[in-house]
Structure 1
Amino acid sequence: MKRLLFVLLSSAVIIAGYAMYSKNDLGLMRVSFAEYYFEASLFEVGVVALAVILIMLLLSFLYRLIIDYASLFGKKRSERLAEKARHSLEQGLIELAEGRFDRAEKILLQKVKHTENPLLTYLAAARAAQHQGAHDRRDDYIRQAHHSAPDADIAIGLTQAELQLDHNQLEQALATLNHLNALSPHHPYVLKLLAETHDRLGDWERLRELLPDVKKANVMNKEKLLSLEIDTLCGLISDRGKTGDVNRVTELWDMMPRNMKAIPEVVEYYATELIRLHASGEAEQVLRDYLSNHWVESSVVLYSELDVMAGEQHISAAEDWLQDHRHNEYLLYALGKMCLSRNDWSKARTYLEASLSVKPMPATYLKLAQLLEDHLEDNKQAQEYYRQGLHMLVGDYGEQALANAENDFQRAIVVPELRVI
């Protein structure tokens, strides 16, 4: 622009100077319209035309100059506002991390209109509102996040689902996650949250269907995934057990993968459900088969609580376990009960006393006392065992309070906690 002005001005000066120097007649120019006319020399017309052009160019230059300065001022102002917005976002996130949720929400929203990242700002504000229990404001910030970034449905939806789960809004979270799963099937984090939601809802059938996809997505560590599988199988056992049909429970067990049948929590939960459904014989078989291959203390405890008519194979299997676990009080107690069921009083006494020598337990004292009283006619020793079992069960109230064995015996009879299955 400056170069053009310089050229035009230079041309005008040269032409005018040359014309004045030569004093030649350049001719006239006459323009008429109706009764009016205009007449001037060509030199004068040229000078006027050049002046008009120069004025137009100057005006254009001034206009561009004003626009540039205005733009520069607006840009500087926008940069200042954006910098303040960045600072507000940074400070708001710090307040949020430090747990000052009310202050964080206010700071985050101060410059939200000028922020370069409204999505992050609104999502952070939603978290701050969530921690204050302001769910209406939380949902409003989620909607504004959608408006600010329409293409970020997955990111916004995941944040919304996380907040709903944090507040135990399980049904709402499930609806959000199902929508996200429809938008992006097999999204790893969506599948993870879906699995956790179904777990918390106790929707075991749906979780069972979802688990293969969760495994493929590889979004959980082995421990978490195993825990989820155990929860699912135990939940399914419980649901089928509620029908009262033991066959439905055993059918589920038959369909289970072999590796899950080797997990003590699943085996014990299944056996417990069988006992509840009055199928103690089946429970004994399951536990016996399991303990023959996997020695787990909690399973031995459950096995010792069974009250079944023991056959030779039952006792033989349990006595085989004694070779490696001769000092296990629960196994000795279980063998004592088995011998009681077969009316083998002497052997039952031997096992029960051996169990007491390893670790005294109220239930063992009771079984032994009942054996001595009902079948071996040793009332004095029976009363002593009643006394010791009661003493262990209710605590030490002093020797004087327990000195009278006969009184202890009468108390033991009426204490329901001592009666075990």
Structure 2
Amino acid sequence: MFRTVFLFVILGLGLFVGTQYSGQQGYVLISIANKTIEMSVTTLVIFIIATLAALFFLEFILKRAASMSYNTWNWFSVRKLRRSRRYTNEGIIKLLEGDFKHAEKKVMRWANHHDKPLLCYLIAAEAAFSQGDENKRQQYLEKASEQDDSTLAVGLTRAKQDIRAKNYELAFDGLSTLNGQFPNNSLIQDLLKGVYIELKLWQPLIDILPKLGREKSINKEESDRYLLLAHSGLLEEIAQQKGSEGLIAHWDSLPKKLKNEPSLIATFSKQLIARKADYEAFGVVKNVLKKNNVEELYALLPEMNLSDRHPMNQFLLSSIKKDPDNAAAHSALGQLYIRDQNWPEAQKHLEQALAKRSNVSDYAYLADALEHQNLNQAARDVSRKALTLVKS
């Protein structure tokens, strides 16, 4: 547009000047080396205008040709891109349908022409993993890692696949590296939570739970459940490493709220019993049962190996006196009487326990007590009840 206006301006000026100086064309002499060119001013002006017009026209032709070439090339590129996207979409559908072989072929067929080849390589890696082809999976992940801004996507894909393959150590290494690079990524934190549980890394699990709660990755109920699981596992770990003294020291350092949790008290007591600290375990369980009726803790009492079981018997008798319907206390006392070979008393308390609730173990103990009293038919009847309970 500018060039057209420019030409009209030049023509206008030429017409104006030509009108003003008609009949006075002037004289122009151009000398180059041994050559001379003579012309009138009017001729020179017309020549210049014609030259400019020719140059502008030539520029237009060249641009037109270049534009046509570019449009032609662009048309082919867009066509390849559209085809690549179509194959990728079809590959994703095949992956979801479980046709992993065709999914891999679809996404890789035109991956080089896709505007996001990273997506193609990750889908191909997933398809190869689902087919159990580890070599291809690694090749696709390597190609994916060569793409721009691929660190997080490739790392998460690799970690998820390692977790599904139960390669938890590899997943831990990868996720730990990613966590250092992307500390605020909630998906990384959630995957680490599962890996910590599988590898029994209890302290890291305890440390990560508050962050998962703040990010709403888990609700309070889940957080409490994982916290108890982690502390329970940590108690077992410390017991194995430091023995009963280290276990007691760790228990004393826990917050009061945790020390009131029945499941943790049970774990703590079991670890003490396993390390022959039975009297310490009895003291812990007794103090809790004085305040709360926890069936799981009553069940631990018969497992304790005390040289003098009289205090334990007296404690259970007082519990029953306070609550005659305490089935767990009747069961524990019945088991203790079996150890003392006091079969009639064992029978009495086990029958009272079973009158309140059905329990396979109590049926087995009762059958044993009856057999030792030569009540064989009654013992068989009780055994059939236990078998029925197991099958139901």
Q: CA deviation at 1:200?
A: 1.0
Q: What SS class does the counterpart of residue 36 from structure 2 fall into?
A: strand
- Tell me the equivalent position of 1:242: 240
Whichever residue aligns with residue 89 of structure 1, its letter is T
Aligned to 1:418: none
Q: Is the 8 A contact 2:122 2:144 kept in 1?
A: yes
Q: Does residue 23 of structure 2 align to residue 7 of structure 1?
A: no
Change (3 A) 1:147 1:124: same
In structure 2, what is the equivalent of residue 364 of structure 1?
A: 366
- What is residue 218 of structure 2 aligned with on the other side? 220
Q: 1:337 to 1:31 in 2, by over 3 A?
A: closer
Q: Determine if the alignment matches structure 1 residue 180 to structure 2 residue 178.
A: yes
Q: Work out whether residues 93 and 104 of structure 1, in 8 Å CA contact, stay in contact via their aligned partners in 2.
A: yes
Structure 1 residues 293-317: Cα deviation after superposition (integer angstroms, max 9, x where no partner): 4434444444455454433575345
- C-alpha displacement of 1:393: 7.5
1:326 corresponds to = 325
Moved more, 60-69 or 121-130: 121-130
Unaligned runs of 5+ in 2: none
Q: Is the aligned partner of 1:77 residue 2:79? A: no
Shift of 1:164: 2.0
Question: In the aligned structure 1, how far is the partner of 2:315 from the partner of 2:300?
Answer: 18
Read off the aligned partner of 1:365 and give its amino acid letter: A
- Give the direction of change, closer, same or farther, for the CA distance of 1:307–1:63 in structure 2 (3 Å limit): same
Q: Which amino acid aligns with 2:285?
A: L
Question: How far is the alpha carbon of 1:6 from its aligned partner?
Answer: 6.3
Which amino acid in the other structure matches residue 364 of structure 1?
L
AA of the residue aligned to 1:127? E
Task: Return closer, same or farther for 1:365/1:162 CA change in 2, 3 Å cut-off.
Answer: same
Counterpart of 1:166 in structure 2 is: 164
SS where residue 38 of structure 2 aligns?
strand
Q: Return the letter of the residue paired with 2:226.
A: L
The structure 2 residue matched to 1:272, chosen from 270, 273, 282, is 270
For the residues of structure 2 that align with 1:339 and 1:169, how far apart are their CA atoms? 49
In structure 2, the partner of 1:409 is none
User: TM-score, normalization: structure 2?
Assistant: 0.80
Query: 2:111 matched to which residue of 1?
Result: 112
* Correspondence list, 1:314-393, <5 A: 314-321=313-320, 323-324=322-323, 326=325, 328=327, 330-338=328-336, 347-348=345-346, 350-355=348-353, 361-367=363-369, 369-370=371-372, 372=373, 380-381=374-375
Cross-structure match for 2:288: 290
Distance in 2 between the 1:85 and 1:337 partners?
Answer: 73
- Between stretches 260-269 and 50-59, larger displacement belongs to 260-269
Structure 1 pair 175–169 and aligned structure 2 pair: CA distance change class (3 A): same
Deviations 1:121-177 (A, max 9, x none): 333332222222233333333333333223x53343223222222222222221211
Residues 29, 39 of structure 2: 8 Å contact kept:
yes
Q: Are the counterparts in 2 of residues 362 and 393 from structure 1 also a CA contact under 8 Å?
A: yes
Q: CA deviation at 1:106?
A: 1.8
Equivalent residue number for residue 139 of structure 2? 140
**Gapped regions of structure 1 (runs ≥ 5):** 373-379, 396-421
Identity of aligned residues (%): 23
Note if contact 1:240-1:249 (Cα within 8 Å) is conserved in structure 2: yes
Cα distance in 2 for residues equivalent to 1:173 and 1:327: 48
Please say if 1:92 is aligned against 2:94: no
**CA positional deviation for 1:62:** 0.9
Distance 1:274 1:230 in 2: 18
Cross-structure match for 2:193? 195
Aligned to 1:419: none
Residue 60 of structure 1 and its aligned partner are, at CA, apart by: 0.8
Question: Quick one: which of 140, 146, 156 aligns to 2:154?
Answer: 156
Query: How many Å apart are 1:57 and its aligned residue?
Result: 1.2
